[in-house]
Structure 1
Amino acid sequence: MTIQIIRPADRTAWLAARQQDVTASVAAAVLGAHPYTTPYSLWAEKTGRLPPDDEETEAMERGNLMEPVVVVMIRKRFPEWEVTYENDRAYFRDPARRIGATPDAFVDRPDRAGTGNCQIKSASEDAFKEFWLDADTGEVVPPTWIAIQAICEAQLTGCAWACVALVVITWRGTFQLHIIDIPIHLRLWNRLITKVDEFWTMVASGEEPSPDWQRDGEVVMDVYRDSMPEKRDLTASTELDALVHQFDRARVEAAGAKAVVDQLRPHIIHALGNAEIGLTANWEVSARTTFRSGSQSRVLRVKPRRDLDASF
């Protein structure tokens, strides 16, 4: 395996280098194990049907800003460890397999042979409890896609082992550091590179993966956002004909439901008068005035009563 190391001059060059590969952060998508990226959305991006999502989200910004903080914490908690952190977006790629990674840091530990790859993550306390903490054992277990990312980075950088350094931002504003060793499962790695190869073979053939209709709806609408002046014969598909019938029925029902809502809203507001909150025998009703674009309106919300002794 020949590895090419790219040291981009800036973020734009780094994004361009990543575009040609399946990167470690989304590699789990080819296994159907990524929470945010599906095989279809990955195909749409890598084939240019969708522009790459270059915008830095708030979560990504937090992660980037936290990286040097986590490195300082590791060095402070484990002074016997040697941490290499250059923060230069060095990009490691296998040109033949078209898979790449941007490692965060490298660690040499007296209790481990060789250099290890260290993937740095941050999470809120709620996210930590929901996605990282095993409720039965109390152990910290990284999500599968993050473990795959760490393994991918270790393999591409030639590291002997891998770990994840997770900092949990508690509701008090304090930091909790967790170091989780990630076993490098070669069977998983071999399966991953096989799936990546199948992905690029599919791309070259002009085929596409089937959309996950529970997750890919917006992606499909974006891929086919531009219409062309042509007519397509779809009469051979009885399944599509049934879907169109289902869509039409749902559209009519939705329009009818909206008409009922529009008719009932003023009845409820009339009974509420100018009060913001009202209680019926079973419901709590609120209609606060909101101001937007120079106009005002009352947004009606209802929910079942939980406290029948609530006072105004």
Structure 2
Amino acid sequence: MTVSRFPIRDRMAWLAWRARDLTASDIGAAVGLDPYKSALKLYAEKTGLLMPDGDNPSMRRGRWLEAAVLEAIRDQQPDWEVRPAKVYLRDEALRLGATPDAVAATDEPGLTNIQCKVVARPTYEREWALGPPMHYQLQTLTEGMLLDAARSYLAALVIDTYTAELYLHPVPRHEAAEAKVRTLAAEFWANVAAGKRPAADYKQDAETLAAMFPQSVAEPVLNLAGDNRLGELLPLRETLKSELADIEKGIEAIDTEIKDTLGEAERAELPGWKISWKTQKRKAYTVAETTTRPLRVTRIEEKEKAA
């Protein structure tokens, strides 16, 4: 591999570099293992159909606390020389990139790559019990490959209200896995060039599909007579909608009985529960014009078919 190194001095330049490549943090999404981004959303971002997600509180927390992770490593591993990497790595032929968080010189030969994560205690106990999530491992492995590091660690600073603990998870170099990452990058950009998009993940991609197809086309009417899958889904959808309506009516009836019990009272308590029915005032505002594509599914009755 021929890897170029770009010192990171400007955040906007760094974001522009990342936009042109499949990055280490994208690998999990590309193989369908990222719980926060689907393969289709990744494809849409890299082809310009969607803008990448902007900054958010979780990302800012990780960025702000990265220095705390490195300080925890120095405290726990005083013999290590740890420093922020501050470099963007790029294999131009594969359009594969990575931004290691830090590197370290240890008592072992060769460079050590470090990927920093800040994790809430409940999340760590729930999602890291059997080891780091696979999309994080793939990210770290890709960074280590492009950095040509001797080894990598996923450093998880696990925080709760009163404590912070550091866990260092080794991510060894793995020749076969690295070869698969390189193949994945080549296939991803080949599919982009051919206009071959990944299949949608129907549990994740509602907003992605809405953004990809914002405008409807009136003609021609799509004939789905041979679509057996939709033939199964539509009756199921009708049943679920009916059950949902019954559930919502049941909840509404319960809420009405609660309100009748409270009367004028703003709050109420009973063992194990708190109830609030507080008066609120909402300021007037003007709603800007929007364009949407509401989905409507209507059963055609037999008499309509005959007509």
Q: Shorter-chain TM-score: which interval? A: 0.7 to 0.9
**Offset from partner CA, 1:205-264 (integer Å, 9 cap, x none):** 112111111222222222222334433322343433554454455556655665665566
- Kindly indicate whether residue 98 of structure 2 is the aligned counterpart of residue 109 of structure 1: no
Q: In structure 2, what is the equivalent of residue 37 of structure 1? A: 37
- Kindly indicate whether residue 178 of structure 2 is the aligned counterpart of residue 179 of structure 1: no
Q: What pairs with 1:60-139 in structure 2 (closer than 5 Å)?
A: 60-86=59-85, 88=86, 90-110=87-107, 112-134=108-130
SS at match of 2:167: strand
Residue type matched to 1:67 in 2?
A: E
For structure 2, list consecutive stretches of 5 or more residues without a partner in the other structure: 285-307
Distance 1:208 1:285, change over 3 A: same
SS at match of 2:82: strand
The answer as to whether partners of 1:124 and 1:168 remain within 8 angstroms in 2 is yes
Q: What displacement does 1:180 show?
A: 2.0
Q: In structure 1, what is the equivalent of residue 300 of structure 2? A: none
The answer as to whether partners of 2:259 and 2:277 remain within 8 angstroms in 1 is no
**Offset from partner CA, 1:140-181 (integer Å, 9 cap, x none):** x22211111111001101111111222111321x32122222
Aligned length: 282
Q: What displacement does 1:101 show?
A: 0.5
Q: TM-score, normalised by structure 1?
A: 0.80
Residue type matched to 2:127 in 1?
A: F
Q: What pairs with 1:111-260 in structure 2 (closer than 5 Å)?
A: 112-134=108-130, 141-172=131-162, 174-236=163-225, 237-248=227-238, 250-251=240-241, 254=244, 258=248
Residue type matched to 2:259 in 1?
A: I
Q: How far, CA to CA, are the matches of 1:241 and 1:63 in structure 2?
A: 46
Residue type matched to 2:5 in 1?
A: I
SS at match of 2:55: coil
Q: In structure 1, what is the equivalent of residue 301 of structure 2? A: none
Distance 1:51 1:264, change over 3 A: same
Q: In structure 2, what is the equivalent of residue 305 of structure 1? A: none
Q: What displacement does 1:70 show?
A: 2.1
SS at match of 2:142: helix
Q: How far, CA to CA, are the matches of 2:273 and 2:74 in structure 1?
A: 54
Q: What displacement does 1:79 show?
A: 2.6
Residue type matched to 2:46 in 1?
A: K
Q: How far, CA to CA, are the matches of 1:264 and 1:164 in structure 2?
A: 49
Q: Which moved more, 1:112-121 or 1:235-244?
A: 235-244
The answer as to whether partners of 1:5 and 1:91 remain within 8 angstroms in 2 is yes
Q: How far, CA to CA, are the matches of 2:280 and 2:143 in structure 1?
A: 50
Q: How far, CA to CA, are the matches of 1:227 and 1:257 in structure 2?
A: 33
Distance 1:79 1:200, change over 3 A: same
The answer as to whether partners of 1:269 and 1:287 remain within 8 angstroms in 2 is no
- Structure 1 segments of 4+ aligned residues over 6 angstroms from their partners: none
Residue type matched to 1:234 in 2?
A: N
Q: What displacement does 1:31 show?
A: 2.4
For structure 1, list consecutive stretches of 5 or more residues without a partner in the other structure: 135-140, 296-312
Distance 1:7 1:229, change over 3 A: farther
SS at match of 1:289: coil
Q: How far, CA to CA, are the matches of 2:75 and 2:7 in structure 1?
A: 28
Q: In structure 2, what is the equivalent of residue 298 of structure 1? A: none
SS at match of 1:291: coil
Q: How far, CA to CA, are the matches of 2:219 and 2:241 in structure 1?
A: 25
Distance 1:243 1:101, change over 3 A: same
Distance 1:249 1:130, change over 3 A: closer
SS at match of 2:280: strand
Q: In structure 2, what is the equivalent of residue 269 of structure 1? A: 259
**Offset from partner CA, 1:4-36 (integer Å, 9 cap, x none):** 222354222211111111111121222222221
Residue type matched to 1:289 in 2?
A: K
Aligned-residue identity in percent: 32
